[in-house]
Amino acid sequence: MRYDLTIEGCFVVDPLNHLKEYTSVSVKDGRVAAVGDAGKALQSVSLSGALLMPGIIDVHVHCSDWIGGPLSFGMLAKSGVTTAADMAGPVQVVLRQMKEQGSGINVAVMEALYPGKTVNGTDPSLDEIRGVVGKITREGALGLKLIGGHYPLTPEASAAAIRAANERRCYIAVHSGSARNGSNLKGALDSIEFSEGRPFHLAHINAYCRGMVEKDPKDELKTLLKALIDNPHVISEFHPAPLNGTNGKCVGGVPESHITRNCLRMGGYPETEKGLKTAFIDGYAHCVGEDMNGVNEYVSGEKALSYWRSQEGNAICGFPVNDREIAFLCATAKDPKGEYVIDALSSDGGGIPRNFMIRYGYLLVEWGAWSVDEYVMKTSVIPSRMLGLTNKGHLSVGADADITVFDPVSRKALLTVVGGKVVYAGGVQTGSGGTVLCLPEGRDAAEGMGLGIQVVDIEQSMLYAR
């Protein structure tokens, strides 16, 4: 067989096929065609000493205009990500940006319930939420996101949202926080209570352990891990970034996002626009702006303030509120049976410049906290199961040819292949557009955008299959 592409010289790690050796991987027609047969190929790439794995699947990123922006797609491909789940939407904006500035990667969108935008107020009824869920899935979203940490709903509405998503059988992810408790340990425990045993994805476990409820964040994590063990219907992920990601928009002299207010309080600043400006000058608050190479970067000081001003406050901000020890403990925590408690590693990156799936994630392997197999499980295999992508997360013949190759020493991506096409190689983005991962009812909308489509059987997702 004449292959489209053969990648040679790499150390190939594919836990589902018990593969851990130097060999070649060949693809044809968008699928894995052979492992260990470096036959004739139209294109052949040799990357000796690199690590090759099933494509990295980042289950928590941001690509929308609210947070992330259109540079996100290129930033993800550059960091070795082949499939990403946007955790805010709106889906129509993400798909439009993907059409214009996509990098060829696969994207699923979970659209947020945003009071005043996607729902009328902070207490939408079950019927109103059912309507939203129907609308966004027809527009191409894979599911729903609650962003109660930033924009809280009432406890009743938060519970209704998890119920509505479960009824519709779409994906549901939650950034905890409601009118009762904010984005902290209590808010996270509330979410589990609101779920009434219905499955959902509890986003970024690390973010609820910042010492806002208990004095020691480690005690908070202990409590949350126990709740996760006791509630196996909750699936979860954590991210390793030191800075968080929030929006800096202020209304009436006060930051709109409750997370931005929390961060100011944690740094000892007033929870006001003035407090935010002082925090920029002091270097505590960071702002995200585009650098010379067309990717986003964090800036601080006067530069951050002037960028924030130029965006009329509607800019991504970051504060150093993520405890490093907590991130490490999230990676290594196991239940009494010896299984990892937190399912996956994510970045919470995308357009937020913290796409650390390889850069920090692989450090855990270097350090000895994870085996290389466990790293691939946490960054590809389990994320594929979370999203219900049975043809990803492994390199079996016939699997989707989504492949990540990186240098384990510099921890930088070298080659990103999606559906058999090279979308990033050696510093250059070569892909465009992308593929939307949607439910059957979203097919027409995604097709209408001129994007690729992969319909997901959500019943295969860990949410509903376990």
Q: Which stretch binds Zn ion (CB under 5 A): 7-15, 86-94, 232-240, 397-405?
A: 86-94
Q: Is 348 in the site for Zn ion (CB under 5 A)?
A: yes
Give the shortest CB-245-to-Zn ion separation in angstroms. Answer: 6
Of residues 34 and 142, the one with the C-beta less far from Zn ion: 142
Residue 30 sits at φ, ψ, to 5 deg, of 80, 0
Stretch near Zn ion under the rule CB under 5 A, chosen from 82-90, 184-192, 338-346, 422-430: 82-90
Residue 11 or 66: which CB sits closer to Zn ion? 66
Among the candidate windows 298-306, 348-356, 367-375, 451-459, which touches Zn ion by CB under 5 A?
348-356
Q: Smaller CB distance to Zn ion: residue 239 or 394?
A: 239
- Nearest distance, CB of residue 62 and Zn ion, angstroms: 6
Region from 132-140, 155-163, 274-282, 341-349 binding Zn ion, contact rule CB under 5 A: 341-349
User: Which residue number, 106 or 346, has a Cβ lying nearer to Zn ion?
Assistant: 346
Cβ-Cβ contacts under 8 Å for 309 (sequence gap 6 or more):
none
Give the shortest CB-6-to-Zn ion separation in angstroms: 37
**How many residues sit close enough to Zn ion to count as binding (CB under 5 A)?**
2
Q: What residue is closest to Zn ion based on CB?
A: 348
Kindly state the smallest distance separating residue 317's Cβ from Zn ion, in Å: 13
Question: Are 32 and 316 spatial neighbours (Cβ–Cβ below 8 Å)?
Answer: no
Return the number of the residue (87 or 418) whose C-beta is nearest Zn ion: 87
Q: Residue 274 Cβ, how far from Zn ion at the closest point, in Å?
A: 26
Torsions phi, psi for 255 (to 5 deg): -60, 135
**β-pair type (316-318, 344-345):** unpaired
List % helix, strand, coil for the chain (3-state, nearest 5): 35, 30, 40
CA distance 91 to 101: 15
Judged by CB under 5 A, which stretch of 287-295, 342-350, 390-398, 429-437 contacts Zn ion?
342-350
Q: Which is nearer to Zn ion, 240 or 431 (CB)?
A: 240
Residue 153, both tokens:
């709903």
Cis omega before residue 90 (within 30°)?
A: yes
Which C-beta is closer to Zn ion: that of 146 or that of 160?
146
* CB 244 to Zn ion: min, Å: 9
Region binding Zn ion by CB under 5 A among candidate stretches 28-36, 149-157, 270-278, 343-351: 343-351
> Judged by CB, which is closer to Zn ion: 87, or 144?
87
Site string for Zn ion, 131-170 (x = CB under 5 A): ----------------------------------------
On whether the CB atoms of residues 87 and 237 are closer than 8 A, the answer is no
Q: Which of 209, 172, 218, 169 lies closest to 189 in space, CA to CA? A: 209
- Complex with Zn ion: residue 59 or 192, whichever CB lies closer: 59
Strands (E), 73-170: 81-86, 103-113, 143-147
Q: How far is the CB of 190 from Zn ion (least distance, A)?
A: 18
Return the ∠ at Cα 386 (arms to 381 and 387), rounded to 5°: 100
Residues 375-394 that bind Zn ion (CB under 5 A): none
For residues 428 and 415, give the distance between their C-alpha atoms in angstroms, rounded to a whole number.
9
Identify whether the C-beta of residue 19 lies closer than 8 Å to the C-beta of residue 12. yes
**74-to-204, 298, 402, 447 alpha-carbon distances in Å:** 23, 17, 16, 22
**Dihedral angle computed from the Cα positions of residues 109, 115, 116 and 118, in that order, rounded to the nearest 10 degrees:** 30
Residues that bind Zn ion (CB under 5 A): 87, 348
